[in-house]
Amino acid sequence: MNTTDILEAYPHEVETDVALIADAIDALQRCALACTACADACLAEDMIGDLRLCIRTDLDCADSCEALTRILTRRLGYPGAVIRAHLQACIIACSTCGDECAQHAEMHEHCRLCAEACRACEAACRALLSAAESSEKAMPA
């Protein structure tokens, strides 16, 4: 089952772009996983004292990604303002965590992978937000 398959099984036509939503959902699930794993791996490092903030930003980012995954997966009613605000919040969580992990990427493979997952997730959320904002503007008042 691809993400697109289950989204397209929704029983009504929806205006939103399924491919963009599916990309975002896939990136969000990857990012949540990477952040949870990175926090745990940081916790196991000898130099854990230098990774405290990295663990915190990992945990925040995982929480944000999981909430947004669920919100984006729902198609009924399209609450545009709710979706845009959570996309914006998650973009900031991913950007913050990506920046923090990138600082440790050369030393720790889990930080490198996590930074990568955060960047990819941020990009997928930005693409979806941009489409959502365009269609918002195109709507008659």
Residues contributing to the site for its own copies (CB under 8 A) = 1, 3, 5-7, 9-12, 25, 29-30, 33-34, 36-41, 43-45, 48-49, 52-53, 55-57, 59-60, 62-64, 66-67, 69-71, 73-77, 79, 81-82, 85-86, 88-89, 92-93, 96, 108-110, 113-114, 116-117
Is-contact 94 121, C-beta < 8 A?
Answer: yes
Please say which residue, 29 or 135, places its beta carbon nearer to its own copies: 29
What is the nearest approach in angstroms of its own copies to the Cβ of residue 131?
Answer: 18
65: exposed, middle or buried (C-beta count within 10 Å: 0-12, 13-18, 19+)? Answer: buried
117: Cα separation from own chain's centroid? 9
Please say which residue, 80 or 131, places its beta carbon nearer to its own copies: 80
What is the nearest approach in angstroms of its own copies to the Cβ of residue 39?
Answer: 8
- Alpha carbon separation from 136 to 24, 27, 53, 65, 133 (Å, rounded): 19, 23, 37, 23, 5
Number of residues that this document lists for the chain:
141
Closest by CA position to 83, among listed 130, 31, 26, 36: 130
What is the nearest approach in angstroms of its own copies to the Cβ of residue 17?
Answer: 16
What is the nearest approach in angstroms of its own copies to the Cβ of residue 83?
Answer: 9
